[in-house]
Homo-oligomer: A and B are copies of this chain.
Amino acid sequence: MQNFSFQNTTKIIFGKETEKEVGKYTAQHGYKVLVHYGGGSIKKYGTYTKVINSLEKAGIDYVELGGVEPNPKLSLVQAGIELARKEKIDFILAVGGGSVIDSAKAISVGYFYDGDVWDFFEAEAKITEALPIGVVLTIPAAGSESSGSSVITKLDGMYKRSIGSNLIRPKFAILNPELTFTLPNYQTACGAVDIMAHIMERYFTNTEDVELTDRLAESALKTIIKNTPKVLANNEDYAARAEIMWTGTIAHNGLLGTGREEDWASHGIEHELSGIYDVAHGAGLAVIFPAWMNYVYQHDLERFAQFAHRVWDIEPDFKDLEQTAYQGIKKTKEFFSSIGMPVSLKELEIPEDRLEEMAQKATENGEIGSFVNLDTKAVLEIYQNALD
């Protein structure tokens, strides 16, 4: 186990009807709130009204900015910063999924910065101050509700880049599984893949002696694998929605990475995909992660065999660990397919003409990944393996 420090200060308020308490929690941090959200679904399904009623009941003044898209865009962040300054906002309430939360985080750091907020994403500026943020989560996927990171897309040049700081960790996150009943199955499945990917990016490590976090990660994966088909079959299965929602937070609150090197190559490889083609992040990961696994698994057959056995209940063949390890990858891919996810670039209708460009971009700052270090050629090969 490596030395580490761990602190996650976000207050989680979890359960039925908890969004009605958002005014109370917001009032602990701010008076003039920017309510940030995405498309029309929070209005269509009544969440917007419940949130606004709760804010008004708590005597909170607010302005709103909707329109956050999946793979949230820099341009809206810049508009949000301008609005927040004009309205003298002191708190941002993100009502939505990871895209909305990430957009709110970017606004929160840009608010105090004179230059272009993109400087933070290019590591040309350091985060020293941020507006406090709260969350009403409607999509379990990104884990952004208690993380200290944000991923934003700059359309000019199609860059997808991230920032990280404890200053952008939400003060509170309200998680009501009922708010996820109306998610389309495709989006639920994308979320499940994203959650699993967050766990697996931490699971595949070269750090020795990480038994507790291995087991916790396996627990989280099994929970997603068991409950995702349930909610796809019955969208209003509260118990299964709750398991997925809480696991989505645990997957990315930092706990599962304590004491271990993390990988994150698959996320980097996928970011170029969703940066250029605007595919859903989870769908992109469903294509990339198994292709990455196939490329790297020989590097540590024991770990991949453990994954196959403990997560997928594959009976180990001790005389043929490679076969055991391979079965785990096969099961992962089959599972993604079974929940309606694409597992090839072909299924995403992505042609092969820009693979080299993406591989270049993914590695423009050097090799990526730590389980196996990947150069441009390796990333290209993973894209090619993912073709069909």
**A binding-site residues for B, Cβ under 8 Å:** 1-16, 18, 208-209, 211-212, 215-216, 218-220, 222-223, 226-227, 239, 242-243, 246-247, 250, 255, 258-259
Q: How far is the CA of A258 from the CA of B11 in the complex (A)?
A: 12
Complex formed: what's the CA distance from A243 to B215 in Å?
A: 11
* Cα–Cα distance between A11 and B9 once the two chains are bound (Å): 9
Tell which of A13, A212, A243 has the most Cβ of chain B within 10 Å.
A212
Taking CB atoms, residues of chain B closer than 8 Å to A212 are 219-220, 223, 243, 246-247, 250
CB contacts (< 8 Å) of A10 on chain B: these are: 7
Q: Which residue of B lies closest to A216 (CB)?
A: B219
Report the bound CA distance from A219 to B7 in whole Å.
21
A215 interface neighbour in B6, B12, B211, B223, Cβ under 8 Å: B223
B residues less than 8 Å from A208 (CB atoms): 239
CB neighbours (8 Å) of A259 from chain B are 14-15, 242, 246
CA distance A17 to B3 in the complex (A): 9
Instruction: Tell me, rounded to whole Å, the shortest Cβ–Cβ distance linking A251 to chain B.
Output: 10
Q: Which of B8, B227, B250 contacts A211 (CB 8 A)?
A: B227
Contacts of A2 in B (CB 8 A): 15
Kindly list 14 other residue pairs between chains A and B, CB separation below 8 angstroms, not including A1-B243, A8-B8, A216-B250. Answer: A1-B242, A4-B15, A6-B12, A14-B258, A14-B259, A15-B259, A211-B226, A212-B220, A212-B243, A215-B219, A216-B216, A216-B220, A219-B219, A250-B255
Q: Across the interface, do A11 and B5 meet the contact criterion of CB distance under 8 Å?
A: yes
- Could you name 20 residue pairs across A and B whose Cβ atoms are closer than 8 Å? A1-B243, A4-B14, A5-B13, A5-B14, A6-B12, A6-B14, A7-B12, A8-B8, A15-B259, A209-B242, A211-B227, A212-B219, A212-B246, A212-B247, A212-B250, A215-B219, A216-B216, A216-B219, A218-B219, A219-B219
C-alpha gap A227/B212 in the complex (Å): 10
